[in-house]
A and B are shown apart, each in its own frame.
Chain A
Amino acid sequence: MHLYLIRRLLAMLPVLWMISIFVFLFVHAIPGDPARMIAGEQATMADVEAVRRALKLDEPLLIQYFTFVKNTVTLDLGNSLRTGESVYDMLARAAGPTFLLAICALGWSVVFGLFVGVISAVRSGKAADHIGMIAAVSGISMPNFWLGLLLIQLFSLKLGWVGTSGFDSASDLILPSITLGSGVAAVMARFTRSAVIEVVREDYIRTARAKGLVERIVIWKHALRNALIPVVTMIGLQFGFLIGGSIVVERVFRWPGLGSVLVEAIQFRDFAVIQAELMLFSLQFLLINLLVDILYGFINPAIRYK
C-alpha cells in the first residue's frame, strides 16, 4: 500500500508541473502588453510600470517562473490588484463556504443518485425505471442556473421558506446544494444503474439467490458492493465537475465563495487573484483524483500491485 501511495504521489508531479506552467504562462498569454492590459486603458505610464513590477513582469521569464513557483509553494500569493488585499486572505475566507456547499451537494446527490440507480436497475424496463431515467436525462440537461432561479422563485419568493441569496444561516445552504447536486445525482443514477445491471448478471449473484438469500440483501449487499468500484471513480470525476459547477451556482445565489471571487476577479482583470484561483482549483482537483485513487486501491486490492 505504501508503495502504491508513493507511486500515485510521484505520478502527480508531472501533472502539477504542467499546470504550474500553464497558470504561469497565463498572464503572458494576454495579447499585447500584459501590464498595460491589466492596468487598464486610462492608466498612466507610472501605473503600468507599477503593475509590471508588482507582477515581476520586468524580469527574465525563467527567473519569473522560479519566483512564481517559490511564492506559490510558500503561499505568498501577493495582493489583489484591485483592492490591495492579500490574495491568501481572500481565498482563505472564500474557501469555507465553497467547500461546505460542495460537500452538501455531493452528499445528497451521491446517496440519492445511488438509490435511484439501484431501484432503476432492479426494476429495469418497468415504470419506476423509466421515471428514474427520464428524471436523470432531465437533470443532466437542466442548466443549473435556471434550476436555481426556479427554486428561488418557488421557495424564497412565493413560499418565503428560505432567503434568496447570500450565506447568513444554515438554511441558506439548502437551495444552492440542491441546485449544485442535481446534475451529479442524475449522472450517478445513470451510472449506478448500468453498473448494477452488469453485476446482477454475474454468477455469484445467481449463487447468492440460489442459496435463498432475500432479494433485498442480494441487491443492496452483494450487487451494490461490487458495482461500487466503478461508481467510486465516477464520484471523484463528478466532484471535479461539481467544483466547476459551483462557480455558476455561486453566482445564482450570490454565495460568498471561491467561484464568486474568481468571476469578479476576471471581470476586473485582477490577475493576481485569477492566477492564485486557477492554481487552487487545479490543486483541489488533483487532490480529489489522488483521494479517489487511494480509495480505489482500498476497494480493489488488485490495483495496488499493477
Chain B
Amino acid sequence: MTTFINDTAQNTLVKDTKMRSPLSEFWRRLKARRLAIFSGGLLGLLFLFAFAAPIFLPFTPDAFDYSNTLKEPSLLHWAGTDEFGRDVFARLMFGAKLSLLIGISSVTIGAVIGVTFGLFAGYYGGWIDAVTMRVADVLFAFPGILLAIGIIAILGPGILNVILAVAIFSVPAFARIVRGGTLGLKESTYVEAARAAGAPDRIIMFRHILPGILGAVIVYFTMRVGTSILTAASLSFIGLGVEPSVPEWGAMLSAGREYLMAGKWHLTFFPGFAIFVTVMCFNVFGDGLRDALDPKLDETK
C-alpha cells in the first residue's frame, strides 16, 4: 500500500512531467479491468432494481394468492410463485434490499471496530498491540460461520442479531490490515512533521494516518460484503438467521427445498442464483479494486 504510493509517485516523476493524482491513476487502472467494471455495473443495477421494485412490480412480496400457488415462471410471474401464491420475483427484489442491508451494515460495523483497534495497535505498539493481535489471530483463524452461529446461539435469531453475528468476524481482518498500514505510515516524514508540529495522537491517527490506508480498507470492505451476504444467507438457510417468513434469499431457499421433490425447481433455483451472482459481483469488483490499487496487495498474505 505505502510502497505503491511511493513507487508511483516516483515513477510518474521520472516518466512524464505531467503529475497524475493517485486517484486518476487508480481510475485508469480500474477501467482496464472490464470484468470488474461489469460487476460493479451489475451491482449498481441490483441496487436500483432492489429499491425501485415496488414502483414497477404489480405484486408485493407478501400478497397471498391461493388460486396461483407453486406456479412455474411465466411472463406475469417472472420467477414463478411460491406455496402461498406469492410472486417469487417480488420477494427476490425485497430480499436483495435485505441482503445488501445486512451485508453492508455488518461490514461497516466490523470495519469501524476493526479499523479503530488496528490504528491503536499499530500506532502505540507494545502490549496494546500484542493483546489486540493475539485476539485477532485467534478470531481470524476461527471459521466465521461457527463464530456467527455461536453468537446467534446466545442472542437468538433475527435480522439485527444476524448483522451483529456477521459483523464480528470482519473485525480481525480489518484490524490486521490497518495495523500493518499504520506501522508503515507512522514512521513516514509527514506523520513525523505532524507530531513535531504538536498534533495530538488522536488527530495523527485519524486525520493523518487513516486517509493513507483508506484505499486498502475500501478494497477489503467490498470483498467482505460478498462474504457477509453469503454467511448471512447460510445462517438463514439453516434456520438460525432471519425469521422463516421474511423474504431473505437464504430463508427462501430453505422454504423452497420442501418442494424440490415435487419438481418445483424455481423456488430454490432463483434465490440461490441471486446469492451467487451478487456475491460473485462483490468478489470480482473487489478483486479489480485491489489490483487497480496495488497489484501486490493480497488478502491471503
**A-to-B contact residues, CB < 8 Å:** 14-15, 18-19, 26, 29-31, 137-138, 140-146, 149-150, 152-153, 157, 164, 191, 194, 234, 237, 240-241, 243-245, 247-248, 251, 262-263, 266-267, 274, 278, 281-282, 285, 289
Quick check: is B141 within 8 A (CB to CB) of the other chain? Answer: yes
- Are A191 and B276 closer than 8 Å at their CB atoms? no
CA–CA, A10 to B178, complex, Å? Answer: 29
Quick check: is B153 within 8 A (CB to CB) of the other chain? Answer: yes
Taking CB atoms, residues of chain B closer than 8 Å to A138 are 276, 280
Taking CB atoms, residues of chain A closer than 8 Å to B134 are 14
- Are A143 and B143 closer than 8 Å at their CB atoms? no
14 extra A-B contacts, CB within 8 A, seeds A141-B280, A263-B240: A14-B134, A15-B138, A141-B283, A146-B273, A149-B272, A157-B263, A240-B141, A241-B143, A247-B145, A247-B149, A248-B237, A251-B239, A262-B149, A267-B239
- Known contacts A146-B272, A150-B272, A153-B260; decide if A244 and B143 are in contact (CB<8 Å): yes
Taking CB atoms, residues of chain A closer than 8 Å to B265 are 153
- Known contacts A143-B230, A149-B253, A234-B300; decide if A30 and B154 are in contact (CB<8 Å): yes
Taking CB atoms, residues of chain B closer than 8 Å to A152 are 260
The 3 closest A-B pairs by CB, nearest first: A244-B143, A146-B272, A141-B280
- Known contacts A18-B138, A140-B283, A141-B276; decide if A146 and B253 are in contact (CB<8 Å): yes
CA–CA, A289 to B143, complex, Å? Answer: 12
Within 8 A of A (CB), among B145-179: 145-146, 149-150, 152-155
CA–CA, A53 to B138, complex, Å? Answer: 33
Taking CB atoms, residues of chain B closer than 8 Å to A262 are 149
Closest B residue to A238 by beta carbon equals: B143
- Are A245 and B145 closer than 8 Å at their CB atoms? yes
**Nearest CB of A to B40, in Å:** 15
- Are A247 and B260 closer than 8 Å at their CB atoms? no
- Known contacts A141-B276, A157-B260, A285-B143; decide if A263 and B253 are in contact (CB<8 Å): no
**Nearest CB of B to A226, in Å:** 16
CA–CA, A152 to B143, complex, Å? Answer: 26
CA–CA, A262 to B237, complex, Å? Answer: 14
What are 15 of the A-B contact pairs (CB < 8 Å)?
A: A141-B226, A145-B250, A146-B253, A146-B273, A149-B268, A152-B260, A153-B268, A191-B300, A234-B300, A237-B141, A244-B143, A251-B237, A266-B149, A266-B152, A267-B240
Quick check: is B90 within 8 A (CB to CB) of the other chain? Answer: no
Closest B residue to A241 by beta carbon equals: B143
**B-to-A contact residues, CB < 8 Å:** 134-135, 138, 141-146, 149-150, 152-155, 226, 230, 233-234, 237-240, 250, 253, 257, 260-261, 263, 265, 268-269, 271-273, 275-276, 279-280, 283-284, 287, 298, 300
- Known contacts A141-B279, A152-B260; decide if A26 and B141 are in contact (CB<8 Å): no
**Nearest CB of A to B261, in Å:** 7
CA–CA, A26 to B151, complex, Å? Answer: 9
Checking B141, B237, B260 against A145 with a beta-carbon cut-off of 8 angstroms, the contacting residue is: B237
Taking CB atoms, residues of chain B closer than 8 Å to A278 are 146, 150
Checking A15, A243, A248 against B234 with a beta-carbon cut-off of 8 angstroms, the contacting residue is: A248
Taking CB atoms, residues of chain B closer than 8 Å to A240 are 141-143
CA–CA, A144 to B237, complex, Å? Answer: 11
- Known contacts A247-B145, A289-B141; decide if A149 and B257 are in contact (CB<8 Å): yes
**Nearest CB of A to B36, in Å:** 11
- Are A26 and B257 closer than 8 Å at their CB atoms? no
Checking B141, B238, B284 against A247 with a beta-carbon cut-off of 8 angstroms, the contacting residue is: B238
- Are B146 and A137 closer than 8 Å at their CB atoms? no
Interface of chain A: mostly helix, strand, loop or mixed? helix
CA–CA, A31 to B155, complex, Å? Answer: 8
- Are A285 and B154 closer than 8 Å at their CB atoms? no
CA–CA, A30 to B268, complex, Å? Answer: 34
Taking CB atoms, residues of chain A closer than 8 Å to B280 are 137-138, 141
Closest A residue to B249 by beta carbon equals: A143
Taking CB atoms, residues of chain B closer than 8 Å to A285 are 141-143
Taking CB atoms, residues of chain B closer than 8 Å to A241 are 143-144
- Known contacts A141-B283, A145-B253, A146-B268; decide if A247 and B146 are in contact (CB<8 Å): yes
Taking CB atoms, residues of chain B closer than 8 Å to A251 are 237-239
Closest B residue to A263 by beta carbon equals: B238
- Are B142 and A266 closer than 8 Å at their CB atoms? no
- Known contacts A26-B154, A143-B230, A263-B239; decide if A248 and B145 are in contact (CB<8 Å): yes
**Nearest CB of B to A243, in Å:** 6
CA–CA, A285 to B145, complex, Å? Answer: 13
**Nearest CB of A to B41, in Å:** 17
CA–CA, A146 to B256, complex, Å? Answer: 11
CA–CA, A282 to B155, complex, Å? Answer: 20
Taking CB atoms, residues of chain B closer than 8 Å to A143 are 230, 233-234, 237, 250, 253, 272, 275-276, 279
Closest A residue to B147 by beta carbon equals: A244
**Nearest CB of B to A129, in Å:** 14
**Nearest CB of B to A285, in Å:** 7
- Known contacts A149-B253, A245-B145, A251-B237; decide if A137 and B150 are in contact (CB<8 Å): no
CA–CA, A31 to B151, complex, Å? Answer: 12
- Are A266 and B153 closer than 8 Å at their CB atoms? yes
CA–CA, A262 to B147, complex, Å? Answer: 13
